[in-house]
């Protein structure tokens, strides 16, 4: 089920604009995840910590799934 707000956003900016914005957002999330993984890999060598994403990256991923 699509929320009313998402329906309105798609009509007010046009479908092409909505899809372009969604693709840009997905790209930003992917970039943030990649940066978080690289950061985790760098810090893992120093502290031997687990390679789990940072809290900020986890929140970005969670929010991206709820928005899309």
pLDDT digits (tens, 9 = 90+) for 30-66: 888 888 888 777 776 555 555 566 777 777 777 776 6
pTM here is 0.41
Query: For the chain, which residues make up each domain, given as ranges?
Result: 23-68
- Which of the four pLDDT bands, split at 50, 70 and 90, describes residue 67? low
pLDDT tens digits for 13-25? 677 887 888 888 8
- Which of the four pLDDT bands, split at 50, 70 and 90, describes residue 11? low
* Torsion angle of C-alpha atoms 15, 16, 18, 20, degrees rounded to 10: 160
SS (H, E, C) 17-41: HHHHHHHHHHHHHHHHHHHHHHHHH
Q: What is the mean pLDDT of the chain?
A: 73
């Amino acid at each position: 089920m699509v929320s009313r707000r998402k329906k309105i956003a798609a009509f007010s900016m046009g479908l092409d604009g909505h899809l372009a914005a969604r693709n840009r957002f997905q790209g930003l999330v992917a970039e943030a995840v990649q940066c978080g993984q690289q950061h985790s890999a760098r810090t893992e060598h120093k502290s031997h910590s687990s390679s789990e994403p940072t809290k900020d990256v986890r929140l970005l991923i969670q929010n991206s799934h709820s928005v899309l």
